[in-house]
Amino acid sequence: MITRQKVKKRLFIMLFLSLVFFLCASLISFSSKKFFTPHMVTERLTREIASSLTDLETELSKVAKQNIEDGSGFILFLDNNYKNTFSEKGIEILVYTNDTLKFWTSNAFAAPFINNRLNFKPEIVYNGSGYYLIKRQRVRNHLLVALQLIKYNYKYSNEYLPSGFFKRFKAPTNAIVDLKWGEYNIKAPSGEFLFSLNYEQPVELAVWLQYVIFTLYITSFLCLISSLFFIYTFLIYDLGKKGLLFLAFIFDVIILRAIQFYFRFPFELYDLQLFSPAFYASSALLPSLGDFLINAVLGVQLAFLAYNRSTFLEKISPKPASRFKIVVPLIILLILVILYRLLTDIITGLVLNSSISFRLENILSLTHISHAGLFIVALLLLGFLFLFELSGKYLLKYKISPRLYLLVSLIVFVCYIGFSLLTRRFDYIITLFLLSLLVIIFLHKQGLVLSTSSHGRVISVVIVLSAMATYSLNKAETTREYDKRRLLAAHLSDARDNLVEYYYREASKNIQKDETLKMHLSDAKSDSALSMVASFIKDKYFSGYWSKYVIQITVCNPEKNLSIKPANIIINCEKYFDEKTSYDIIINNTCSKLISI
């Protein structure tokens, strides 16, 4: 038995833990945001860049001492010293002999095969894979080039193509590197301008750090709810009325959550990625995945307290007279069926109202947001499990005959089917899972499901709920995919896009007037240089609205030939596109062809 002294002790412990977790979350959030303020990032990155330039000079000195003419010996030196240097330090070494690429330590940097003396002239260069610091040293007829990766710049991001700054540079992922002068400029130790940082989006903390802050805040809130529960325990000792006071406790929890939700407190919590409506939003009451997760956690806590302290509810209703003995089981089963229906609808809505992938073929390959969504589903199932066990307790309390239970179950089951048919949302698989739950209760009442232990019954319910959740997720995911395809087909059925035609005409005019582009074209001789020009055009003129189209830009000159697959036909670049499209933009006798697919 829990004494008043124990309750008092637990109350103070919960209040203390709530305060400690809240202060820890606030401190971590404040420190992290201060660490990534633009001015702090600029100062720190300037120091890190200076250190990187020193390291590049050291690597060049080390390479310059080797006998480059001894090809096999030099290759062995590079293999022994620079085999994993790019993955560990982000450093790559290039060696040009008579301006022709001879040796390299990594394929990450798309190095030109022929050095035209302008490729490595600046201190920093933009390449298809990212932004690189450059240091050069000439040794007789050899040009040594050391590159330090600053930030990845792949068009796509996955487990093989990373994004953000290289690990030795402590800068937020959303900081954009710009080679033009800006507000936050990074300079070399000599004072020479290297690049600037732009912040188009607010600073976003690392994902793992966001989850740490979220966990601390939610743990603090749960401890506060527990302390409120112990306050009500004191009142129960003094006033009695266990059931009524427990309902009042639930009402107070709802009020606390409503206040926290309305005032968005703490503010740092609602700055996290989980609270972005880009991932999930269904209504004003559930505007984000983070709010959904908080509600699910609180629901599980309340369900656990109700199950664990179920003796508090014993006096909600007196034991009915024999002629009304059917009423209580009927009400309990109706509530259980309503909760089951809500559970299936909420799981389905979680998928349909979100942009999160719930493909369960390979759970480990899902994103952290998908894992958060699956965690919500697990919490919902756990909360229902507690309430299911609580319902089972009270059904066992009333000694009704098996025949009466079957009658009540049949009435409730028929009502569920009728409601599903009326709302046109009948699913026989979901209905069979409900029937399984009713059968489990019946077998338990008859002592046929490990009556000496609750483990067998719990395992049976867990299996049924897991199967139901898996089926609901897969069905909702398939429905959402079908809706996306139908919407895409509707978009594709529109033969013309007047807005894109207007944007194309404007882009054509601006491209012809672009002096920077003309300068790049005049310097571009090799195929790799022409590809970099094409990337420049695409990034500058065909981003934003164009992202919904697949854009291919090919820069042609009179000497360039194309190999057309799969027939392996070799044809002049300009001739090929003259036959395919009239969308040609002539600049300095260099054709830029836009192919829209």
Residues comprising the chain, all counted: 597
Of 177, 173, 196, 174, residue with least CA distance to 186: 196
In this predicted structure, the answer to whether residue 316 has a pLDDT above a threshold of 70 is no
Q: Is residue 517 part of a domain?
A: yes
Burial of 267 (0-12, 13-18, 19+ CB in 10 A): exposed
pLDDT for 590: 46
Q: Which of 60-69, 463-472, 522-531 has the lowest mean pLDDT?
A: 522-531
Percentage, residues of the chain above pLDDT 70: 89
Greater confidence, 34 or 579?
34
Q: Is residue 412 part of a domain?
A: no
3-state secondary structure of 568: coil
In this predicted structure, the answer to whether residue 340 has a pLDDT above a threshold of 80 is yes
Greater confidence, 556 or 251?
251
pLDDT for 318: 47
In this prediction, residue 496 has a pLDDT band, given cuts at 50, 70 and 90, of low
Q: Is residue 405 part of a domain?
A: no
Domain count, the chain: 2
In this predicted structure, the answer to whether residue 287 has a pLDDT above a threshold of 90 is yes
pLDDT for 493: 61
Distances (CA, A) of 71 to 37, 82, 91: 48, 16, 21
pLDDT for 567: 52
In this predicted structure, the answer to whether residue 15 has a pLDDT above a threshold of 60 is yes
Mean pLDDT of 44-51: 95
Q: For 547-597, what is each residue's pLDDT tens digit?
A: 777 788 888 777 777 766 655 567 777 777 766 554 455 554 444 443 333
Give the tokens for residue 206: 């690392």
Instruction: Give the domain CATH number at 102.
Output: 3.30.450
Phi, psi (degrees; rounded to nearest 5) at 581: -150, 155
Q: Is residue 302 part of a domain?
A: no
pLDDT for 323: 56
Q: For 172-219, what is each residue's pLDDT tens digit?
A: 888 899 999 999 999 999 899 999 999 877 777 888 999 999 999 999
Q: Is residue 88 part of a domain?
A: yes
Q: Give long-range contacts, CB 8 A cutoff, 24+ apart: 334-339.
A: 334/412, 334/415, 335/391, 336/387, 336/388, 336/391, 336/437, 337/412, 337/413, 337/415, 337/416, 337/434, 339/384, 339/387
pLDDT for 591: 47
Rounded Cα distance, 469 and 151, in Å: 41
pLDDT for 79: 92
Taking residue 290's Cβ as centre, other Cβ atoms within 10 Å add up to 21
In this predicted structure, the answer to whether residue 405 has a pLDDT above a threshold of 50 is yes
Q: Which domain holds residue 570?
A: 498-596
3-state secondary structure of 96: strand
Rounded Cα distance, 166 and 151, in Å: 5
pLDDT for 311: 58
Of 400, 398, 478, 384, residue with least CA distance to 434: 384
pLDDT for 231: 92
Mean pLDDT of 399-406: 83
Q: Give long-range contacts, CB 8 A cutoff, 24+ apart: 505-514.
A: 507/541, 507/542, 508/585, 510/541, 511/537, 511/541, 511/585, 511/587, 511/592, 512/585, 512/586, 512/587, 514/540
Taking residue 328's Cβ as centre, other Cβ atoms within 10 Å add up to 18
Cis peptide before 202 (omega within 30 of 0): no
Query: Of 198, 222, 253, at which residue does a domain stop?
Result: 198
Q: For 235-244, what is each residue's pLDDT tens digit?
A: 887 776 777 8
Greater confidence, 590 or 355?
355
pLDDT for 494: 59
Query: Of 146, 177, 198, at which residue does a domain stop?
Result: 198
Mean pLDDT of 5-20: 93
Mean pLDDT of 424-436: 94
Q: Is residue 390 part of a domain?
A: no
Q: Is residue 71 part of a domain?
A: yes
Mean pLDDT of 324-344: 89
DSSP 437-488: HHHHHHHHHTTTTTTT-SHHHHHHHHHHHHHHHHHHHHHHHHHHHHHHHHHH
Mean pLDDT of 288-300: 96
Query: Of 172, 198, 224, at which residue does a domain stop?
Result: 198
In this predicted structure, the answer to whether residue 90 has a pLDDT above a threshold of 90 is yes
- Contacts of residue 176, Cβ cutoff 8 Å, sequence gap at least 6: 197, 198, 199, 200
Q: Is residue 109 part of a domain?
A: yes
Rounded Cα distance, 204 and 52, in Å: 25
pLDDT for 560: 76
Mean pLDDT of 231-257: 87
- Contacts of residue 63, Cβ cutoff 8 Å, sequence gap at least 6: 93, 95, 144, 146
In this prediction, residue 274 has a pLDDT band, given cuts at 50, 70 and 90, of very high
In this predicted structure, the answer to whether residue 317 has a pLDDT above a threshold of 50 is no
In this predicted structure, the answer to whether residue 401 has a pLDDT above a threshold of 70 is yes
